């Protein structure tokens, strides 16, 4: 990237079974313990599956504007703080399910708010799926709590499965 702008997502050949553009984005801050879970999961997922564009880590959902524009599928991975069981992995399709009631964001604007903004300016992905991992510790420091660390492989598998399912339906 140059000048702070985003590179456009890499397009796949027209005859590919893949959705044309798949974006995997991570939100969070690795210096706030479990808030860094999205980065770890996204890195693990993009290592395991070809043909995706990793546009993270991002600290704030607004940072996705210009990075996920026009994607067929955007999977956003983030730590959640819904007072649920630490390490629980949840999947929410923002086009069909909206954001989970009771879940709070540690960011200034919610992901669904950013999606609505992207839709208003004609730059939204066709589909946005959120993979959330319930955090336990959002204090200062590096490293995930044991429950979140144990959930990372589960969340990585879920991201890979979501991409594979999208490919089968393309």
Q: Write the burial class of residue 56 (CB in 10 Å: 0-12 exposed, 13-18 middle, 19+ buried).
A: buried
pLDDT at 111: 85
Average pLDDT on 135-152 reads: 96
79, 73, 49: which is closest to 161 by C-alpha? 49
pTM over 0.75: yes
In this prediction, residue 59 has a pLDDT band, given cuts at 50, 70 and 90, of confident
In this prediction, residue 168 carries a pLDDT of 81
Q: Which residue has the higher pLDDT, 14 or 142?
A: 142
Other Cβ atoms less than 10 A from the Cβ of 4: the count is 6
What is the mean pLDDT of the segment spanning 11-32?
72
SS3 per-residue string spanning 90-120: EEEECCCCCCCCCCECCCCCCHHHHHHHHHH
Cis status of the peptide bond prior to 57, with omega within 30 of 0: yes
DSSP conformation class of 80: E
Quote the percentage of the chain above a pLDDT of 70: 81
pLDDT of residue 36: 94
The dihedral of CA 2, 112, 153, 151: what is its sign? positive
pLDDT of residue 15: 46
CATH no. for 26-169: 3.40.50.1450
């Amino acid at each position: 990237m140059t000048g702070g702008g985003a590179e456009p997502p890499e397009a796949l050949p027209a005859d590919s079974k893949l959705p044309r553009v798949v974006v995997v984005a991570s939100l969070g801050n690795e210096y706030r313990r479990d808030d860094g879970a999205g980065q770890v999961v996204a890195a693990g997922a993009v290592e395991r599956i070809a043909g995706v564009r990793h546009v993270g880590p991002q600290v704030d959902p607004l940072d996705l504007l210009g990075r996920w524009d026009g994607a067929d599928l955007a999977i956003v991975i983030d730590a959640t703080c819904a007072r649920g069981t630490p390490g629980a992995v949840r999947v929410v399709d923002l086009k069909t399910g909206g954001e989970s009631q009771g879940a709070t964001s540690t960011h200034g604007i919610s992901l669904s708010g950013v999606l609505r903004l992207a839709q208003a300016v004609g730059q939204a992905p066709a589909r946005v799926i959120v993979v959330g991992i319930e955090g336990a510790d959002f204090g200062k420091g590096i490293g995930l709590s044991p429950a979140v660390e144990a959930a990372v492989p589960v969340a990585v598998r879920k991201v890979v499965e979501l991409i594979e399912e999208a490919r089968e339906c393309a």
